[in-house]
């Protein structure tokens, strides 16, 4: 269920689409259910979020639009068309519970089937108060229903067993109960929670599975809760990497997206952000104060401090992107060093090259309508300080570039080029050829 707009977020972005470590909130929920192999998967959204959802959801997900926000019961009813021929168990998840774990959902489904229940509620018992529905039980301990907080008596509000709004239903029993919902409550909505009372009155069994860690099933309704949830997810990701052999020097200042891969013996220094599909090889060191997005950092490579590695970048084994360096959409060869104060974009640099401080590749098109050019630098090139390489340009193997130069023309291998104010090229100079 991802139909609510989340007005308490005070945002123009619908609640379920807010980002959390590289995923939207709803994507975290879908990821938690993926290992269960559920099929079909239906996401209920609002008309306001339909386009954004449809543009980004995987092909295996069906979208159901809740035309009018009439409560959680109506949200589930909106999915009925997509599940018309389905006869198994329906797992109902809230799109604002990104801390869910697959293991918890597997245990919930197992309890439901072991108990032979028409419905099973995932319950939580947090330490402090929460504005959640209370699970009401009979004297014999069986479930009699769920009452929402706004409709609860003082005595019912003292109940600590809370409804997480996550359930498993037998499909036929779910639709039978949904058909009988009415809006006679404090919010004038169709509550999915009321289906539990209907099933109990039908003489059907309702089971409860309690989450060992209540945090796993807690929802996000405000930006304060969003930030707290991000910290929990960050800690889980960092812990998994450390247990797998990655050294994270200061986990509390390190933010790693879930799709990032790190090999054992990689080192991540404080205040580092690794985003997207970034890969960090064994023995590489990243940070401190580095941001790496959708890039490949090879074995024993060094990134930082104070470095920005942008999408499409590949640092080969032993390469270096140093202090105050930005690299975008470039391949940096094995052992090549870009030590400090440089911008390298849309470039290919061979192995063993050294790029002096203050060097930039100027690849923005100089004429309207032209595509960006690429800079190609060979192996074992020595580029002096404060050089500008005007793409498209190619510098051959073993060439040297004098400090303070603007390179506008290709430089053949083994040549010396530069010498402001206009480029001069001494071909074969480094082989000892005559001018």
- pLDDT, tens digit, 9 for 90 and up, residues 71-95: 899 999 999 999 988 999 999 999 9
CB-based burial, 334-370: b 16+ in 10 Å, e otherwise: bbbbbbbbbbbbbbbbbbbbbbbbbbbbbbeeeeeee
pTM comes to 0.91
Q: What is the Cα gyration radius of the chain?
A: 29
Do the first three CATH levels of 7-217 and 230-431 match, i.e. the same topology?
no
pLDDT at 435 over 60: no
- Given 18, 241, 340, 366, the catalytic residue: 340
Residue spans per domain, the chain = 7-217, 230-431
Q: 303, 298, 347: which is closest to 322 by C-alpha?
A: 303
Average pLDDT over residues 239-244: 98
The answer, yes or no, to whether residue 133 has pLDDT greater than 80, is: yes
Residue 53 pLDDT exceeds 60? yes
- Predicted pLDDT of residue 371: 76
269 labelled catalytic: no
The arithmetic mean of pLDDT across residues 333-358, rounded, is 97
Kindly report which listed range (76-85, 320-329, 406-415) carries the lowest average pLDDT score: 76-85
Residue 434: the pLDDT is 54
CATH number of 230-431: 2.160.10.10
- Least Cα distance to 375 among 407, 404, 351 occurs for 407
Q: How far, CA to CA in Å, does 298 sit from each of 159, 259, 265, 295, 382? A: 54, 17, 12, 10, 22
pLDDT on residue 431: 83
CATH architecture of the domain with range 7-217: Alpha-Beta Complex (3.90)
Q: Given 3-state DSSP classes, what are the helix, strand and coil percentages for the chain, each rounded to the nearest 5?
A: 25, 30, 50
Distance between CA 56 and CA 76 in Å, rounded?
22
Collapsing DSSP to helix, strand or coil, 387 comes out as coil
């Amino acid at each position: 269920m991802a139909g609510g707009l989340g007005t308490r977020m005070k945002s123009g972005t619908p609640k379920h689409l807010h980002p959390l470590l590289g995923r939207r909130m709803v994507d975290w929920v879908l990821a938690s259910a993926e290992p269960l192999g559920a099929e079909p998967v239906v996401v209920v959204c609002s008309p306001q979020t339909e386009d954004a959802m449809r543009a980004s959801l995987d092909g295996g997900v069906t979208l159901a639009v809740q035309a009018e926000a009439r409560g959680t019961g109506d949200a589930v009813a909106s999915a009925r068309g997509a599940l018309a021929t389905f006869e198994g168990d329906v797992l109902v998840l809230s799109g604002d519970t990104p801390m869910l774990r697959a293991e918890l959902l597997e245990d919930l489904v197992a309890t439901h089937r072991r108990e032979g229940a028409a419905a099973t509620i995932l319950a939580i018992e947090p330490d402090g108060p929460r504005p959640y529905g209370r699970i009401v039980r009979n004297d014999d301990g069986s479930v009699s229903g769920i009452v929402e907080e706004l409709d609860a008596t003082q005595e019912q509000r003292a109940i600590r067993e809370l409804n997480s709004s996550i359930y498993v239903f037998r499909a036929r029993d779910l639709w039978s109960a949904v058909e009988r919902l009415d809006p006679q409550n404090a919010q004038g909505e169709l509550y999915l929670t009321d289906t539990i009372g209907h099933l109990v009155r039908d003489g059907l069994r309702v089971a409860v599975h309690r989450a060992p860690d209540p945090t796993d099933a807690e929802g996000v309704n405000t930006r304060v809760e969003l930030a707290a949830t991000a910290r929990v997810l960050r800690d889980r990701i960092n812990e998994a990497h450390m247990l797998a052999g990655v050294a994270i020097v200061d986990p509390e200042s390190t933010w790693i997206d879930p799709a990032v891969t790190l090999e054992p013996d990689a080192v991540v220094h404080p205040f580092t952000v690794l985003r997207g599909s970034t890969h960090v090889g064994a023995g590489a060191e990243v940070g401190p104060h580095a941001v790496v997005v959708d890039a490949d950092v090879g074995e024993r490579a060094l990134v930082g401090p104070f470095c920005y590695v942008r999408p499409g970048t590949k640092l080969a084994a032993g390469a270096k992107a140093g202090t105050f360096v930005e690299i975008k959409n470039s391949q940096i060869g094995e052992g090549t060093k870009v030590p400090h104060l440089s911008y390298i974009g849309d470039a290919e640099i061979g192995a063993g090259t050294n790029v002096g401080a203050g060097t930039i590749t100027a690849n923005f098109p100089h004429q309207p309508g032209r595509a960006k050019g690429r800079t190609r630098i060979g192996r074992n090139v020595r580029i002096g300080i404060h050089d500008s390489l005007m793409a498209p340009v190619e510098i051959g193997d073993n060439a040297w570039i004098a400090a303070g130069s603007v390179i506008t023309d290709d430089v053949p291998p083994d040549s010396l080029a530069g010498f402001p104010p206009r480029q001069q090229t001494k071909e074969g100079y480094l082989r000892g050829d005559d001018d």
